Chain A
Amino acid sequence: MQKYWYDNENRIAVSSRIRLARNLDKTAFPNKLNKEDTAAICKKTGDVLTAREYSFGKLHYIDMDEFSQNVPSLFERHIISPEFANNYHGKGLLLSDDESISIMLCEEDHIRIQSISPGDDLQSAYKKAKEVDDVLCNNIRVAFSDELGFLTACPSNLGTGLRASVMLHLPLSESQGRIPALSAELSKIGLTIRGTYGEGSKGFGSFYQVSNQITLGITEENAIKNLNGIVKQIIISEENLRKEAYKPVLEDKIFRALGTLKYARRVNSAEMIKLLSLIKLGTDMGIIKNKSKNSIYSLIINTQPNTLMLNAKNNYTPGERDILRGDILREKLKEVE
């Protein structure tokens, strides 16, 4: 039974994401709005978008103030942005049952449609986002000009307002020092790469996000096609490095990671991501077998500090969390050998 996008193990390309930025016509952008106007816009767009059934089911309106306890976990699960997590009062979120579509209302723009698909599949993510976008644009006049396209709070999103990104697991590319060169190459063609966990050039756990930067003067289809082409190349290069790797050293690292998490009593998040990344590499390469129903990536999502506490329905100190995380990982990794 698959409910969420991370329930299945996806090798190298973990997930594909599309984000569309939209604004209402003749209306000040969210940073210029007072409480009443913000509430009115959330209601207006919420009413239009929740009124129908989509191919992925219905969208549910969430009043962020009533949902405040879940906010940090929503951020950890990539459902909301860090900006929205820090400034959610008086705002709304639309969410599909499988959490693959989330729409932040009055974040930086009035409407931010986010669609996520498992694996390397920007097309299906775009199809779902477009479905919602069509309903929006057919019912509400959005800020648009023939010259600059969809008008957004930040000029870097003008044009299509579309940001496409693919999350890639690149442990070998990283350990061989390939990321800085890749980053330089990507920036030349209007793409960017950044770490998924932790900021800066080197991410925790070798998870990276590759995305387009340019949104004006390029069609949606071409932006996605360009990114797709590059992502395929990065995947092939990571696959080749995996094939060429000196197995005894790699296997040793992977089994040490598994051994640690199978017996450790206290595990902090940074260590969890680092070791689960190695275990994921091991299962993806067939070095170890995951006989359980959980994907390794779902363990990373579910043992993040706030998601961990939300699932346990309790608040813990960081120290207590590390003990709980250790317990959960020992249990979940029993069937990984």
Chain B
Amino acid sequence: MLCEKCGKYPATTHYKQVINGQESEMHLCSRCAGEEGVYGFEMPDLFSAVFGTPIAENVKICPTCKTSFDEIIKSGRVGCGDCYKYFEKELMQSIFGMHGHTKHIGATPKITEDIKKTDNAENNQDNAKITNLKKDLEKAIKEERYEDAAKIRDKIRDVETQE
């Protein structure tokens, strides 16, 4: 059998895909299979159907990772752990749809002394960062550099929301 795409070389890669009972098959040579993505074809946005369709009002953006709800719908993936808190209302229904549950009952990680130590160290680092930024902010306002001041204010907010 020759490759379905280029028709030049023998088909060495055979794919069968079944979506909602609809079968599709492809037979490609190794070169064309490589061009199509060596190990498989891109799956369509299966999760879009689960999460709902993108609408214009979905402009909410997760403050931690800057992912919009539209992006989540399109990729089927959230941007960070905080997305689950921030988009809780929007995501809960589909989470229930996937698992039939909304409450975790499995293992819980222990918060060990080692973790507390690193947490404290990181907090101290952040506090030092904020103190420095606040100094910069005061200076910028004094010198009437308002554009810089706005930028510094955003930076402070970023560090604070990361905590």
Contacts and interface: CB of A to CB of B under 8 A. Distances in A.
Interface of A: 23, 25-29, 31-32, 72, 75, 82, 85-86, 108, 137-151, 153-156, 158-160, 162, 190, 198-202, 214-220, 268-270, 318-319
Given A147-B103, A216-B99, A218-B101, 15 more contacts: A28-B80, A29-B80, A72-B38, A143-B80, A143-B81, A144-B108, A144-B109, A145-B81, A151-B81, A159-B106, A199-B16, A199-B17, A200-B17, A216-B95, A219-B105
A198 B16 contact: yes
A159 B98 CA distance: 12
A148 B109 CA distance: 13
B84 A148 contact: yes
A23 B79 CA distance: 11
Contact of B65 (A28, A140, A318): A28
A31 B77 contact: yes
**6 closest cross-chain pairs (CB), A and B:** A217-B101, A149-B104, A143-B81, A151-B81, A137-B109, A200-B16
A148 B112 contact: no
A82 B39 contact: yes
Given A138-B110, A154-B77, A148 B104 contact: yes
B105 A218 contact: yes
A337 B92 CA distance: 58
A201 B20 CA distance: 11
Contact of A217 (B91, B105, B109): B105
B79 A28 contact: yes
B81 A155 contact: no
B106 A270 contact: no
Contacts of B85: 145
Contacts of A31: 75, 77, 79
B48 interface: no
Contacts of B115: 138-141
B114 A318 contact: no
Interface in B12-66: 12, 14-18, 23, 29-30, 37-40, 47, 64-66
B79 A148 contact: no
Contacts of B39: 75, 82, 85-86
Contacts of A156: 98-99
Contacts of A190: 100
A140 to B, nearest CB: 7
B118 A141 contact: yes
Contacts of B75: 31
Contact of B10 (A153, A200, A318): A318
Given A146-B108, A155-B78, A217-B105, A199 B15 contact: yes
24 contacts: A23-B81, A26-B80, A28-B65, A29-B80, A86-B39, A108-B77, A139-B112, A139-B115, A140-B118, A142-B109, A143-B80, A146-B104, A148-B84, A151-B81, A154-B47, A156-B98, A158-B95, A158-B99, A159-B104, A190-B100, A198-B14, A199-B16, A217-B103, A318-B29
